[in-house]
């Protein structure tokens, strides 16, 4: 208990210190950060609570216990027991927690540190969970509004400086590959896997180019992790518990190859375009297949859920199911908090690799190098 209180106090002190230490006053009494800002786009891997503020289903929200139990001591909308990858990236960059774009009490000065546009369940395609999430195109439109606000409030030159120095962090695409199977869609009877992946990656690179055209130059991207072998996927076929969901495997592998090629093309075509691509597929696979090497006892069983491997996503009563759920005693033993999402401990490890990992896991830049570029 004392250790838990110490962590909470230290975390609070850190937030206060950097909030004071990283700002300057300018003539119009707005606040401008000295650090490069962080703008976050994506899905539930990054969503800091935007889905709390949209009209959607409980299945794509996480604003209930036991989510948030570790660091925040209450639910925030993050799909984890605690902090997410962008929270740690912000800490390493000496920024405060980056707020959800839809959080109602955001101030203009807060946006100069960055904004989180991510939405749990979102995809690069508009049709993925349509009407229930904030898709990538809408996230881009929300960013454009923030960009206009910054230029209006800070002045054109200062607004452009914030946008050009900022880092843009993305994790998107996985839901586009899972969604057709959750709806029993016949999509893949009418379109090839390769063409479908082309649509997903094409939408992603189009958004990268639009952010570039608005002045963004520094991009952090995660490829798609091995969620075909996450606890939820391992129980889809009840006759083959612990078998990965093969229909998604091919899509994920193809996506990661095409994403890499797409980033290389942008790097060649766009002057000043810099990127850090994290091989999330490898970093997460290593922890799933050899958890003890990374300080975990369970790599393929969730801390919270029900059924085999706690792979049925009933955590906290998700999806309105009356079925009870199990919650592990020691969350730090687990890689996955719920059947699809990582624990805070795992998020920290991945964030460290994104921030300062070697080029074989995050390259050609890592995020630390991008933040240091002016």
First-residue to last-residue Cα distance in the chain: 43
Tell me whether the omega of the peptide bond preceding residue 66 falls within 30 degrees of 0, making it cis. yes
Q: What is the DSSP string of 15-79?
A: HHHHHHHTEEE-TTS-EEESSPPEEEEESTTT-SSGGGGSS--GGG---STTTTTTTTSS--S-S
Nearest-CA neighbor of 66 among 291, 341, 279? 341
Burial class of residue 139 in the structure, from the number of CB atoms within 10 Å of its CB (0-12 exposed, 13-18 middle, 19+ buried): buried
By annotation, the residues acting in catalysis are 44, 338, 341
Q: Which helix (H) or strand (E) segment is 298 a member of?
A: strand 298-302
Q: For residues 211 and 219, what is the distance between their CA atoms, to the nearest angstrom?
A: 9
* Count of residues in the chain: 374
Q: For residues 371 and 358, what is the distance between their CA atoms, to the nearest angstrom?
A: 16
Q: For residues 129 and 70, what is the distance between their CA atoms, to the nearest angstrom?
A: 29
145's CB contacts (< 8 A; 6+ apart) are: none
Place of tokens 């090629």: 261
Q: For residues 99 and 97, what is the distance between their CA atoms, to the nearest angstrom?
A: 6
Question: Please, are residues 51 and 40 in contact by the beta-carbon 8 Å criterion?
Answer: no
Which residues are paired to 41 by β-bridges? 170
Q: For residues 311 and 304, what is the distance between their CA atoms, to the nearest angstrom?
A: 8
Q: Is the dihedral of CA 23, 369, 254, 236 positive or negative?
A: negative
């Amino acid at each position: 208990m004392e250790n838990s209180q110490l962590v909470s106090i230290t975390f609070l002190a850190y937030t206060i210190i950097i909030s004071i230490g990283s700002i300057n006053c300018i003539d119009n009494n707005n606040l401008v950060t000295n650090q490069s800002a962080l703008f976050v786009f994506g899905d539930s891997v990054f969503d800091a609570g935007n889905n709390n503020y949209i009209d959607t289903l409980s299945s794509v929200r996480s604003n209930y216990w036991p989510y948030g139990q570790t660091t925040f001591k209450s639910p925030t909308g993050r799909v984890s027991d605690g902090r997410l990858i962008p929270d740690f990236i912000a800490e390493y960059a000496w920024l405060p927690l980056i707020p959800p774009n839809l959080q109602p009490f955001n101030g203009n000065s807060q946006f100069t540190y960055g904004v989180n546009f991510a939405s749990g369940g979102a995809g690069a395609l508009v049709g993925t969970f349509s009407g229930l999430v904030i898709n990538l195109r809408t996230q881009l439109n929300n960013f454009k509004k923030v960009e206009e606000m910054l230029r209006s409030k800070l002045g054109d030159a200062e607004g452009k400086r914030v946008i050009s120095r900022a880092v843009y962090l993305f994790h998107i695409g996985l839901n586009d590959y899972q969604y057709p199977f959750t709806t029993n869609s016949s999509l893949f009877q009418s379109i090839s896997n390769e063409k479908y992946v082309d649509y997903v990656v094409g939408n992603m690179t189009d958004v990268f180019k639009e952010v570039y055209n608005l002045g963004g130059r520094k991009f952090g991207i995660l490829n798609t992790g091995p969620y075909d072998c996450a606890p939820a996927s391992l129980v889809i076929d009840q006759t083959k518990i612990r078998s990965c969901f093969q229909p998604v495997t091919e899509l994920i592998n193809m996506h990661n190859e095409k994403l890499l090629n797409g980033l290389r093309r942008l790097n060649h075509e766009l002057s000043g375009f810099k990127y850090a691509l994290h091989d999330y597929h490898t970093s997460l696979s290593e922890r799933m297949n050899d958890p003890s090497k990374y300080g975990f006892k369970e790599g393929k069983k969730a801390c919270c859920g029900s059924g085999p491997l706690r792979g049925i996503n009933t955590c906290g009563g998700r999806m309105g199911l009356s079925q009870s759920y199990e919650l592990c005693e020691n969350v730090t033993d687990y890689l996955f908090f719920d059947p699809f999402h990582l624990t805070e401990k795992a998020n920290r490890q991945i964030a460290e690799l994104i921030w300062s990992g070697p080029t074989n896991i995050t390259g050609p830049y890592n995020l630390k190098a991008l933040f240091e570029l002016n």
